[in-house]
Amino acid sequence: MSNTKQIQSALISVYDKSNLEPVIEKLKLLDVKIFSTGGTKSFIEKLGVSVTAVEDVTQYPSILGGRVKTLHPKIFGGILARRENPSDLSEMKQYDIPKIDLVIVDLYPFESTVASGATDQEIIEKIDIGGISLIRAAAKNFEHTLIISSKNQYQKLIDLLEMHKGLSSLAERKQFAVEAFNVSSHYDTAIFKYFNKDFSVPAFKQSIQNGEELRYGENPHQKGFFYGDLNAVFNQLHGKQISYNNLLDIEAAVQLISDFDEVTFTILKHNNACGIASRPILVEAWNAALAGDPVSAFGGILITNKEIDKDSAIEINKIFFEVIIAPSYQEEALKILKEKKNRIILIQKQKEFPVVQFRSLLNGVLVQDRDVKIESAKDMTVVTKVEPLLKEIEDMIFANKVVKHSKSNTIVLVKNKQLCASGVGQTSRVDALKQAITKANSFKFDLNGAVMASDAFFPFADSVEIAYQAGIKSVIQPGGSVKDQESIDFCNNHNIGMVFTGTRHFKH
């Protein structure tokens, strides 16, 4: 069996005719016999190129409004025949089946039709049958047949036709087959997900076409990849390639800032906010966020929900950081921030993200809805004699947003819409609180009048006791402990206001 195969015949049937003309011209130069049908046949004929109708081969017309055109043994026999198999060759001769060396086909635009808001019937009509069958048949028989399953491969095909005069190697055909099965599997996954939204068949299927290899994973000895379209989310204006760890922090940053409407600046390290503040003026928000932990801010990820101006850029530029994200930048600000060549500067474009999260675990995948709940004053139930003041309620709303996006167990201390400190990722809530208080004291924060937020209930009264000793005046927590009353009693006896939200915000 020869490794190299000459393209002598081609079946072409595509929905999207763009960029097809150069391919047709190259096939014409090589005197390749072309089979086609419907609109593709008309397109080729208008180019002045000879084409044989599929109907002339099958002696059967296109039927059912075009639903059945190429589904015929004479077409699939020509694609699937094993050229070295005497029985296959004998049957091809017996039934007058033409050999097909090249298949160029695409698929009806199912995903874009769904995205357009089309009706169910319009969507169903965009489920390709013939095209997907042709792709699978040609890819299966890659030893003899070359499959082009996307217009994105046209240039590769043109190069092959020009440089090798229509000759293809086994490795080339197998590569195209791999890409074809990628196309077909992605297409089937999209169709399944569309239908399954109403039935919830317990199957996990995801398919993302775009992917890139990162420099490495979390550590240099680990490989890392990102599958998705970062260009749809960000414009990268400056800096080096975004790393695996950068992406983890960027995800945390984007989700956190999305909960804030006021002018807010946030600094993150290892997926947690080490500084965040809301202020009327951006540079003030930056200075207040940085004051929360100027040590951890080194090498951090910065994000804001307001355009970066010159005054802010001057202050921001005084520290080393990895990434900065904003909706826009003033020209003078951008010039300042670009002074460091490796600094990653991003404009965030996309604001809405999938509401379903998943992660690999053991021999399977965990799936859950994203935590999109944001508590407001109406979600708070005052459980103490002391009712928090309006200013304290505003701080509790702020703190509860931060605690929601921090690693559990976590405690967040806030005053005047500024993060004073947080204790994150601790094995006990008391340890998280002690960590936060120690950190706040080390940066000279006055916690008198500050508020405390907890991602989950207090199992005992010890946390509110420690908070009281530090000067905390208001507490927001989910509630739900069998010993809630102990915490309530302590707060009542020491003039502390406490509210329950009824919503836990664990994050692991």
**pLDDT tens, position by position, 129-161:** 999 999 999 999 999 999 999 999 999 999 999
In contact, 421 and 294? CB cutoff 8 Å: no
Tokens read off for 407: 């690693």
Assess whether 270 carries a catalytic annotation: yes
pLDDT tens for each residue of 412-451? 999 999 999 999 999 999 999 999 999 999 999 999 999 9
Question: Dihedrals φ, ψ of 82, to 5°?
Answer: -90, 115
Taking the C-alpha atoms of residue 484 and residue 506, their distance in angstroms, rounded to an integer, is 18
pLDDT, mean over the chain: 95
Q: Which residues of 213-235 are buried (b: 16+ CB within 10 A; e: fewer)?
A: ebeeeeeeeeebebeeebeebbe
Other Cβ atoms within 10 Å of 267 Cβ, number: 28
Taking the C-alpha atoms of residue 380 and residue 221, their distance in angstroms, rounded to an integer, is 47
Assess whether 140 carries a catalytic annotation: yes
Flag residues of the chain having pLDDT under 70: 1-2
In contact, 102 and 146? CB cutoff 8 Å: yes
Q: Which residue in the list 140, 156, 193, 238 is annotated as catalytic?
A: 140
Q: Which residue in the list 270, 340, 391, 494 is annotated as catalytic?
A: 270
In contact, 105 and 134? CB cutoff 8 Å: yes
In contact, 391 and 414? CB cutoff 8 Å: no
- Please give the pLDDT value at position 1: 45
* Upper half-sphere CA count for residue 248 (Cβ side, 13 Å): 12
What is each CA distance from 507 to 134, 326, 424, 486, in whole angstroms? 47, 25, 10, 26
Other Cβ atoms within 10 Å of 469 Cβ, number: 11
Taking the C-alpha atoms of residue 432 and residue 40, their distance in angstroms, rounded to an integer, is 66
- Please give the pLDDT value at position 2: 58
